[in-house]
Amino acid sequence: MSKNPVAFILLLTLITIVAWIVLQVFQIQTKPISTPDQKLMQELNPELDKSVLEELKKSLK
C-alpha cells in the first residue's frame, strides 16, 4: 500500500468506476431487445381537440 491514503482512495475509486462502466456495457450488450406493444406503435392524431383546450382555459380562470 502507498504511504498516501488519498492516492489509495483515488485508486480504489477509479477501479470501481471502471468496473461499473464495464459491467453496464456488458449488461446492455447481453440484454435482449424487446419489441414494443402495438398500442405504443399506433399513429397519433395530430389534430388538437379545441373543446378540451377551452375547458382548460376556463379552469385556469
Q: What is the mean pLDDT of the chain?
A: 90
Percent of the chain with pLDDT over 70: 97
Indicate whether 2 pLDDT > 60: no
* Higher local confidence (pLDDT), 40 or 2: 40
10 Å Cβ neighbour count for 61?
Answer: 4
Instruction: Tell me if 1 sits within 8 A of 8, measured CB to CB.
Output: yes
Predicted confidence (pLDDT) per residue in 25-58, tens digit: 999 999 888 888 888 888 888 888 899 999 999 9
pTM of the model: 0.51
